[in-house]
Amino acid sequence: MTSSWKLFMVIEMLLLLVSSYQIFQNTPIFILLVIAAINIVYVIKKTQRTSFNQFQIIIGIVVVVLCLLTSPATWVLLALAVIFIGLKGVEVSGVDLFHNAPWKKKHMLMIKTVESDPKNGRRFKRPWIGNQRIGSSVYEWDDINFTIFSGDTIVDLGNTLLPRQDNVIMIRKGFGRTRILVPVGVGVVLEHSALLGNVIFEEEFFRLKNESLKVYSQDYDYNERRIRIITSTLVGDVEVVRL
């Protein structure tokens, strides 16, 4: 996800340069844009503003926007931004736009298995900032443990098979929302601490202010498959949703 965002930003910056060049080549539009920008800066720097000054700012912003939209590259920039952000939103939310497509009627899903790791384990890196979804496709389960500074996180346990033992999800986060999607038939215990945030668990609502919370699902004691969720956030909500 991080690499795709970097590529998106590079393309947007290139389109912005092309748009600036096209506006610069159009002398009347360029002069009008400069006058509007000077007008906005002049009004903003005034210590005392009148109602006419507010009108100047609004007219200046409208003129700047119209001048920018005269460039074809600006329209391409905006269209690409809408498409990319829309697709990323679908990816993070986990919505399948082609769920009822004809070619998926006989679609067979297989668990992706790998050879056992050596006892010294493995090392991998996760991004510090950004939204991410774990379990958008079928995967083999492994305990989850990571730290992130900011971003929304979705962990979907519906696309994996939990072993018959205690499994662990540990997430430490600065800011952002966390959603854990748990299938029916799995016992859940949630241990959460937050400086400020809300918790939704088994349709119960909790509001935390520099507090810690530990709650169990009603079927935790007699279920063979259980998940232990340990989370901590500075500011953000946590939600455990049954599938």
Higher pLDDT, 1 or 52: 52
Least reliable range by pLDDT among 21-30, 85-94, 220-229 = 85-94
pLDDT bin (cut points 50, 70, 90) of residue 221 is confident
In Å, the largest CA–CA distance within the chain is 76
Q: At what angle do helices 2-25 and 51-69 cross, to 10 degrees?
A: 100
Give the phi and the psi of residue 126 in degrees, each rounded to 5. -120, 155
Q: Strand pairing partners for 189?
A: 216, 228
Q: 148 and 127 in contact (C-beta within 8 Å)? A: yes
Burial class of residue 160 in the structure, from the number of CB atoms within 10 Å of its CB (0-12 exposed, 13-18 middle, 19+ buried): buried
pLDDT at residue number 193:
93
Predicted local distance difference test score (pLDDT) of residue 119: 52
Is the model's pTM score more than 0.85? no
- Mean pLDDT over each residue of the chain, to the nearest integer: 81
- Among the ranges given (12-16, 112-116, 124-128), the one the predictor scored with the smallest mean pLDDT: 112-116
Instruction: Give the pLDDT confidence score for residue 117 in this predicted structure.
Output: 54
User: pLDDT at position 111, please?
Assistant: 52
Q: Are 52 and 43 in contact (CB under 8 A)?
A: no
The model's pLDDT over 186-212, given as tens digits with 9 standing for 90+, comes to: 999 999 999 899 999 988 899 999 899
Q: How confident is the model at residue 172 (pLDDT cuts 50, 70, 90)?
A: very high
Say whether 213 sits in a helix, a strand or coil. strand
The Cα 163–Cα 226 span in angstroms is 8
* 134-154 confidence digits (pLDDT tens): 887 788 888 888 888 888 888
The answer to whether 200 and 214 are in contact (CB under 8 A) is no
pLDDT of residue 45: 82
Proportion of the chain above pLDDT 90, given as a percent: 17
